[in-house]
C-alpha cells in the first residue's frame, strides 16, 4: 500500500511544480532595457494615444473627468464585465500610485503585465496591446506621468468570482494570449507601419473593436470587425473597409473624424468614442493620417 501512495504523492508534486512554473510571472531583466534618455514631450503624445486618462483619471461627481482633471490619475473607475468588477488603480506619481516605481517596474507592468511585487495584472489593463509598443515609448510615457499631480488614495481590489479570482492563473492566460507580434504582419510603407504601431500598440483599438473568445482573448482572425460594447448595451462597430460604419470613408475622412469629431455627413462622434477622439485629436496630423491609412489597408471583413 505504501508504494502506490508514494507514487501518487510524487505525481501530485510534479503537477504542482509544473503548474507553478507555467503560471510564474515572466519579466524583462534590467540589462535588457535600451539606453534611452526619456523625452517628456514624446511621452505626452503616448499618454494621449494610449487613452491613459480615459480609465485612470479619477471620476468627478461620479462622472468621467474632463479638462485638467484628466491629469489626476487617482483611478477609481469601475469596469463591470462578465468576469466581475475590475477597479482601475491609481497610477499618479504618489506613493499610493506608481510613485517610487523604477523604469523597469513600469516597463514590466506595461508590457509584461507584472507588478513590482511580482503579481500578474489582469488583462482589463490592456498590456497585451502595450506589449507591441517600442520600449522607448514606454519609458517616455513614464517620464510624462512623473510630471503629473500626485493623487492620494488607494483603490479597492477587483471583485471577481472563481476561477477568475485566482490571479496566479493569469500566467497560463498570458502564455496563450500575450504576443508581441503584430496582427497585420506585412506593411509596405513607413506610414502604414506607423499606423500599425499606433492602432495595434499604444492605441489598443482592438481591445474594443475585436471580438473575444470565452477566455477573454482577442480573436485575431476577426481583427477590428466589431464586438459587444464593454460599456453596456449595443456593439462597437466594424472599422475595417468592409464595415458599415467607415467602409465608405476615405483616408482623409477618417483622419478628419479623429481630428474634429465630425463624420463626412456632418454627424458627430458619440458614446465612448468621444473620449477616444478627444485624446487622438492631440496627436500630430501625420499620426492621424497614419492611423487612417492603416485602417483602410485592412482586409474588408
pLDDT in tens, 226-277: 998 876 677 899 999 999 888 899 999 999 999 999 999 888 988 888 999 9
Enumerate residues 6+ apart whose C-beta is below 8 A from 66.
Answer: 60
Q: What is the predicted pLDDT for the residue at 293? A: 97
Burial of 36 by CB count in 10 Å (0-12 exposed, 13-18 middle, 19+ buried)? middle
Q: What kind of architecture, by CATH, is found in domain 190-297?
A: Orthogonal Bundle (1.10)
pLDDT in tens, 126-176: 999 999 999 999 999 999 999 999 999 999 999 998 888 899 999 999 999
% of the chain exceeding 90 in pLDDT: 68
Rounded Cα distance between 114 and 112, Å, is: 5
* Mean pLDDT, rounded, for 82-110: 95
Rounded to two decimals, the pTM is: 0.90
Range list of H helices, the chain: 2-22, 40-49, 52-56, 103-112, 127-130, 135-145, 170-177, 190-196, 206-209, 251-260, 273-280, 285-297
Rounded Cα distance between 124 and 128, Å, is: 10
* Mean pLDDT, rounded, for 61-76: 86
Q: What is the predicted pLDDT for the residue at 10? A: 72
Rounded to the nearest 10 degrees, how much is the dihedral formed by the CA atoms of 163, 166, 171, 174? 50
Residue for cell digits 474632463? 66
Q: What is the predicted pLDDT for the residue at 126? A: 95
8 A C-beta contact, residue 139 and residue 103: yes
Rounded Cα distance between 294 and 197, Å, is: 10
Residue 21: band (very low, low, confident or very high) from pLDDT cuts 50, 70, 90: low
Q: What is the predicted pLDDT for the residue at 231? A: 66
Q: What is the predicted pLDDT for the residue at 232? A: 66
**HEC per residue, 164-224:** CCCHHHHHHHHHHHCCCCCCCCCCCCHHHHHHHHHHHHHCCCHHHHCCECCCCCECHHHCC
CB 27: neighbour CB atoms within 10 A?
A: 19
- The domain ranges of the chain are 26-177, 190-297
* Mean pLDDT, rounded, for 49-56: 93
Q: Shortest CA distance to 121 belongs to which of 84, 76, 88, 79? A: 88
8 A C-beta contact, residue 50 and residue 204: yes
Rounded Cα distance between 52 and 202, Å, is: 10
Q: Nearest 5°: phi and psi at 68?
A: -65, -20
Range of weakest confidence among 102-106, 179-183, 194-198, 283-287: 179-183
Amino acid at each position: 500500500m505504501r508504494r502506490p501512495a508514494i507514487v501518487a504523492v510524487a505525481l501530485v508534486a510534479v503537477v504542482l511544480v509544473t503548474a507553478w512554473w507555467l503560471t510564474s510571472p515572466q519579466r524583462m531583466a534590467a540589462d535588457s532595457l535600451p539606453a534611452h534618455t526619456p523625452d517628456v514631450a514624446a511621452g505626452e503624445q503616448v499618454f494621449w494615444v494610449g487613452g491613459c486618462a480615459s480609465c485612470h483619471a479619477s471620476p468627478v461627481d461620479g462622472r468621467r473627468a474632463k479638462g485638467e482633471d484628466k491629469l489626476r490619475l487617482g483611478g477609481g473607475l469601475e469596469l463591470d464585465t462578465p468576469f466581475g468588477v475590475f477597479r482601475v488603480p491609481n497610477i499618479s506619481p504618489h506613493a499610493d500610485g506608481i510613485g517610487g516605481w523604477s523604469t523597469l517596474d513600469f516597463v514590466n507592468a506595461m508590457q509584461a503585465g507584472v507588478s513590482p511585487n511580482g503579481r500578474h495584472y489582469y488583462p482589463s489593463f490592456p498590456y497585451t496591446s502595450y506589449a507591441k509598443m517600442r520600449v522607448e515609448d514606454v519609458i517616455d510615457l513614464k517620464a510624462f506621468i512623473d510630471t503629473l499631480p500626485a493623487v492620494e488614495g488607494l483603490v479597492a481590489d477587483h471583485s471577481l468570482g472563481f476561477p477568475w479570482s485566482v490571479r496566479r492563473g493569469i500566467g497560463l492566460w498570458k502564455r496563450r494570449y500575450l504576443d508581441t507580434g503584430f496582427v497585420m504582419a506585412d506593411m509596405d510603407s513607413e506610414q502604414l507601419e506607423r499606423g500599425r504601431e499606433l492602432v495595434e500598440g499604444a492605441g489598443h483599438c482592438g481591445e474594443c473593436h475585436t471580438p473575444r473568445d470565452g477566455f477573454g482573448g482577442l480573436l485575431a482572425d476577426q481583427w477590428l470587425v466589431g464586438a459587444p460594447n464593454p460599456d453596456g448595451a449595443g456593439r462597437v462597430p466594424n472599422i475595417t473597409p468592409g464595415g458599415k460604419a467607415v467602409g465608405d470613408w476615405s483616408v482623409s475622412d477618417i483622419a478628419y473624424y479623429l481630428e474634429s469629431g465630425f463624420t463626412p455627413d456632418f454627424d458627430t462622434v458619440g458614446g465612448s468614442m468621444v473620449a477616444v477622439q478627444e485624446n487622438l485629436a492631440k496627436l500630430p496630423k501625420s499620426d492621424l493620417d497614419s492611423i487612417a491609412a492603416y485602417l483602410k489597408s485592412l482586409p474588408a471583413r
